[in-house]
């Protein structure tokens, strides 16, 4: 397939830094939509503020809402309630959806709103200077924690599962085939569905943590991620320094 038909060519190339993982995620989303044969003209993509929010807006040749920080799910809720026939997909980052917009995320899951939320987790506030995020792993260095993050990181899949999500999955951009597969499954799920895409930010996260080369960050993701079940995610018993990936249903 040629994903160019889904993109606004006048805004290319993308604004992403060299080596950013968001391009891999964008490709996975568009291929998943194409393989499912979803009508692109009936889709609404909603994003907030941050690098990941640039995935649909301004790139997708579809209806998009680029909203205020932390509020994409609130806007998506309104759009879906007004027009239930729309296929509504929220695409944004960990800072936007969890650190700032966590309350909207919780209640969208509780309501079982029929939207798909795809969260690009690069474990840092990439666009605004590399500040600490709620998803930054313990001891990792950021612009605001030069001595290392003193806090533990947040497991968003565990949160949405605890809130009753009917579908939740997590894979990294180091596994694009699996990532595309779970995005397809999420898009077909009736009710609230959630995909966490672990991605990389060489500019703000990698260079601060001795991984300035994108391939180093990809290798770290490969070593970080291990297959897990819903029960293991809910128990929070991943080995130290590891993250469970898979479909947690």
Q: In the chain, what percentage of residues exceed pLDDT 70? A: 100
Q: Where are the alpha helices (DSSP H) in the chain?
A: 22-36, 72-82, 94, 102-111, 156-162, 176-188, 214-224, 230-235
Q: Which of 56, 51, 61 is nearest to 76 (CA)?
A: 56
199 pLDDT band (50/70/90 cuts)?
A: very high
Q: How far is CA 43 from CA 46, 111, 115, in A?
A: 10, 21, 11
Could you tell me the CATH number of the domain that includes residue 111? 3.40.50.970
pLDDT at 118: 98
What are 156-196's pLDDT values in tens digits?
A: 999 999 999 999 999 999 999 999 999 999 999 999 999 99
DSSP for 193-222 reads EEEEEE---IIIIIGGGT--SHHHHHHHHH
Does residue 1 surpass a pLDDT of 80?
Answer: no
pLDDT at 117: 98
* 3 compared with 136, residue with greater pLDDT: 136
What residue numbers bound the domain in which 47 lies? 3-247
Q: What is the pTM of this model?
A: 0.96
b (16+ CB within 10 A) / e for 108-119: bbeeebebbbbb
* 15 compared with 148, residue with greater pLDDT: 148
Tokens linked to 3: 């994903």
Tokens linked to 108: 């969208």
Does residue 111 surpass a pLDDT of 90?
Answer: yes
pLDDT at 2: 81
Tokens linked to 222: 């490969």
Mean pLDDT throughout 140-146?
A: 97
What are 206-225's pLDDT values in tens digits?
A: 999 999 999 999 999 999 99
Does residue 249 surpass a pLDDT of 90?
Answer: no
CA atoms lying within 13 Å on the CB side of residue 41? 0
């Amino acid at each position: 397939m040629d994903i160019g038909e889904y993109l606004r060519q006048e805004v290319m190339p993308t604004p992403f830094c060299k080596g950013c993982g968001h391009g891999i995620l964008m490709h996975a989303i568009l291929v998943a939509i194409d393989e499912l044969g979803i009508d692109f003209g009936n889709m609404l993509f909603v994003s907030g503020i941050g690098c990941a929010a640039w995935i649909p807006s301004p790139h997708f040749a579809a209806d998009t809402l680029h909203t205020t920080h932390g509020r994409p799910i609130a806007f998506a809720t309104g759009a879906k309630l007004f027009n239930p026939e729309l296929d509504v997909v929220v695409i944004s980052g960990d800072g936007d959806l969890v650190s700032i917009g966590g309350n909207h995320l919780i209640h969208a899951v509780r309501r079982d709103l029929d939207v798909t939320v795809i969260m690009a987790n690069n474990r840092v506030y990439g666009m605004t200077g590399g500040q600490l995020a709620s998803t930054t792993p313990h001891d990792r260095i950021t612009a605001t924690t030069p001595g290392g993050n003193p806090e533990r990181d947040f497991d968003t899949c565990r949160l949405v599962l605890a809130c009753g999500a009917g579908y939740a999955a997590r894979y990294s951009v180091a596994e694009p085939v699996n990532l595309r597969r779970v995005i397809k499954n999420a898009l077909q799920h009736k009710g609230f569905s959630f995909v966490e895409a672990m991605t990389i930010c060489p500019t703000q996260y990698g260079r601060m943590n001795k991984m300035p080369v994108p391939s180093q960050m990809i290798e770290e993701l490969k070593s970080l991620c291990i297959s897990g079940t819903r029960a293991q995610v809910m128990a929070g018993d991943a080995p130290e320094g590891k993250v469970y990936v898979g479909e947690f249903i």
